[in-house]
Structure 1
Amino acid sequence: MGEQLGLTECVSMALGGMIGGGIYAVLGVTARITMGATWFAFVLAGIVALCAGYSYIRLNALGDRRGGSVSFVQQFVGNSTLAGMVGWTLLFGYVGSMAMYAFAFAEFAIGFSFVPHQLLGLPIRPVVSVLAVTLFVAMNLLGARTTGSAENVLVVVKVAVLLSFGVFGMVYATMLSDTTMSYGFGQFTSVGPIVAAAISFVAFQGWQLLFYDQESITDSVDTIRKAVYVSIPAAVVIYVLVAVVTVNLAPQALKQHPHVALADAASAMLTVFGLSSLGFVVISLSALFSTGSAINATLFSAGHFAKRLISGDLLPDRLGDADAQGLPSKTVLALGAVTALFTAYGSLGAITSFASLAFIVVFGGVSVLAFRERDQADIHPAPPAVGAIGALGFAPLMLYNLYTNQPNTFWLVVVLTVVAVAVELLYFERGDIERELGEFEERVNSRL
């Protein structure tokens, strides 16, 4: 329609990108690590994300290019290989996020009693996850899109459901039940909350999508700045409320089937009114709606991001036509295929950890870049330093925890990371590799 997005739409996009599916997919994985202190893990992750957001905002105001992480590296570092690797890492992160949402979508779908857990002796969860990805790939291929006004409505509904869950859950737990509230204060001196914060980091990545399409945003530098500073704290508040309520009302559900513990907590709090089944249905439907829309929105944004990488020769042309109107079909199909593979064969812990690791590396790297450029403009060194130390400190702690407690997941994440980096290096250094191979072949032939 040619209309520009304002602050309201940008806050909706950023908040919707974080709230959309993250809490439903991440809460169970995070709570298994630190239980009572889960809310504190979300606070830590939110602080690091906000400091990384400050780094993005200041570099965006300083730079001539508008486009986020890849553009920052191109302008302030001038290394196309590094810029391309940052772009690919983000794409892997988006694929991991979509796989995570699809996994959670299926878990809530099979939570309904009328949905079988097996079909022909095989688990149905991977089938439902792949079907969800296929549905939204098809929608994007047909040109489906969500307008700014519609996104406002969608986000209001999702936020209203979770806020109602959190606020009423606190009232129920503290005033209408005999629940002894636990806030995990005794764990603050351990590494558990920090490890949980690292794994939950993927739930705070949606805001940076605003930087990729600034031409459609009114007064983009200032509008994005305000949207980031509003959306991240708002997401933290919602995550904290939901975490405290779920951990205290559904501790057994978090241990036995953590992926759908929110629905069990909602069922518990409405028992006092004889509406336990209603609570389960409302939260489950909200989860299906939120994770589904998160797959769709992330695929749409990742497709446009990939298109920009193709136009800048940072992705192979065979993955899509950079001059195509809208999203290139090949790009959407490629992203959908890799996402379906991840969500079908990966565990939720492995998918979440891999996606979080991708965003930790990129956000930490941008924070380092902002700290390096602190003398070039009005950049206070403290937020970039916190963003860099926090994000880059999360990575080894998360990997150590996986190695100690989930060795199979650890090795899967390591293999995925090594394969991703190897493919990136082979693509961006292909010219040098071909030249060196040619010289080696000439030397061998001359000796023969």
Structure 2
Amino acid sequence: GFELIANASVDVKNPKKNLPRAFYTSVLFVIGLYILISFVTVGNLSVGDIVAAKDYALAQSARPFLGNGGFILIAIAALFSTSSAINATLYGTARVSYIIAKDGELPKILDRKVWNRPIEGLIITMIITLFIANFFDLSSISVMGSAGFLLIFAAVNAANVKLYKETMSRRWISIFGTMACLVAFMVLLWQRSLSHPSNLILLVVMIGFSFIIEIIYKKITGRIIQPIYKIKNPNK
């Protein structure tokens, strides 16, 4: 979820300086934390125990040296962590819909503020999320979420391959990011095709539905997508 940091750029002091710091710090911290958690889990549980407690393996790993109290403590911490992740995601989603609407790529109603906050996109997202959570199984939701993130990250990196001069970034990083996301996406599709083929059908339907909505909205509004940056020809 580190990409959500960018959605808070309007609320950050000196974003040009502080946003890169936030990105690098969060990524490095999470990498270190995940490695430590893996060591603790593997060090306290056998592979069989981890598989048996796959939904609560971290809490189970605290039981050998902290007892039932440790199990409960980690379980409560997991609830707080989940709540924090949901809060950050909803905040970022509200900001994204507001910004996109401001650019004319979503209905104008979403660029209004309620109580001085762009919450209309948040409310719509909440309703859609509740619908999906109640009518689809968790494996389908996780596949859609993971696949969606990978495709979005690949698209963003691919765009930066072209705009690297304007964004003053290293092109090779974006190329590597694009390829890595696409490879991960293909691996995800392959893995789900072996275990849950029905998830692939749902994924294709959702992606197709997204494109259909975009096409219909474009035809209704007559919107023409304009490039954000005009690339200057160095030969002229």
Answer with 1 or 2: which has the greater Rg. 1
Equivalences, count: 222
Indicate the residue corresponding to 1:258 in structure 2: 54
Asked if the contact 1:308–1:322 (Cα under 8 Å) also holds between the matched residues in 2, the reply is: no
Indicate the residue corresponding to 1:88 in structure 2: none
Q: Does 1:300 align with 2:96?
A: no
Distance 1:329 1:234 in 2: 30
Q: Does 1:346 align with 2:142?
A: no
Q: Does 1:369 align with 2:146?
A: no
Structure 2 counterparts to residues 38-53 of structure 1, below 5 A: none
Which residue among 99, 102, 106 is the counterpart of 1:315? 106
Shift in Å at residue 377 of structure 1?
6.7
1:327 alignment partner, SS class: coil
What do the CA deviations read for 1:62-85 (whole angstroms, capped 9, x no partner)?
A: xxxxxxxxxxxxxxxxxxxxxxxx
Structure 2 counterparts to residues 197-276 of structure 1, below 5 A: 206-247=1-42, 249=45, 251-267=47-63, 269-270=64-65, 275-276=66-67
Distance 2:167 2:96 in 1: 28
Distance 1:421 1:289 in 2: 36
State the one-letter code of the partner of 2:133.
T
Q: Does 1:387 align with 2:183?
A: no
Distance 2:52 2:11 in 1: 46
Distance 1:384 1:329 in 2: 32
> Percent identity of the aligned residues?
23
Distance 1:305 1:377 in 2: 20
Distance 1:377 1:326 in 2: 31
With over 3 angstroms needed to count, the CA separation of the structure-2 counterparts of 1:330 and 1:216, relative to structure 1, is closer
Shift in Å at residue 285 of structure 1?
0.3
Asked if the contact 2:114–2:120 (Cα under 8 Å) also holds between the matched residues in 1, the reply is: no
Q: Does 1:283 align with 2:74?
A: yes
Structure 2 counterparts to residues 11-410 of structure 1, below 5 A: 206-247=1-42, 249=45, 251-267=47-63, 269-270=64-65, 275-318=66-109, 320=110, 322-328=112-118, 330-374=120-164, 378-410=168-200
Asked if the contact 1:367–1:385 (Cα under 8 Å) also holds between the matched residues in 2, the reply is: yes
Which structure exhibits the higher relative contact order, with contacts defined as CA atoms closer than 8 Å and separated by 6 or more residues? 1
Shift in Å at residue 224 of structure 1?
0.8
What do the CA deviations read for 1:144-170 (whole angstroms, capped 9, x no partner)?
A: xxxxxxxxxxxxxxxxxxxxxxxxxxx
2:56 alignment partner, SS class: helix
Asked if the contact 2:62–2:71 (Cα under 8 Å) also holds between the matched residues in 1, the reply is: yes
Shift in Å at residue 335 of structure 1?
1.2
State the one-letter code of the partner of 1:213.
A
Shift in Å at residue 245 of structure 1?
3.1
TM-score (norm 2): 0.81
Indicate the residue corresponding to 1:15 in structure 2: none
2:55 alignment partner, SS class: helix
Gap runs ≥5 in structure 1:
1-205, 433-448
Distance 2:4 2:115 in 1: 20
Shift in Å at residue 308 of structure 1?
2.3
With over 3 angstroms needed to count, the CA separation of the structure-2 counterparts of 1:210 and 1:417, relative to structure 1, is same
Distance 2:67 2:53 in 1: 18
With over 3 angstroms needed to count, the CA separation of the structure-2 counterparts of 1:247 and 1:403, relative to structure 1, is farther
With over 3 angstroms needed to count, the CA separation of the structure-2 counterparts of 1:403 and 1:247, relative to structure 1, is farther
Asked if the contact 1:250–1:261 (Cα under 8 Å) also holds between the matched residues in 2, the reply is: no
With over 3 angstroms needed to count, the CA separation of the structure-2 counterparts of 1:232 and 1:322, relative to structure 1, is same
Gap runs ≥5 in structure 2:
223-236
Shift in Å at residue 257 of structure 1?
4.5
2:112 alignment partner, SS class: coil
Shift in Å at residue 307 of structure 1?
2.2
State the one-letter code of the partner of 1:331.
G
Distance 1:336 1:377 in 2: 33
Shift in Å at residue 394 of structure 1?
1.4
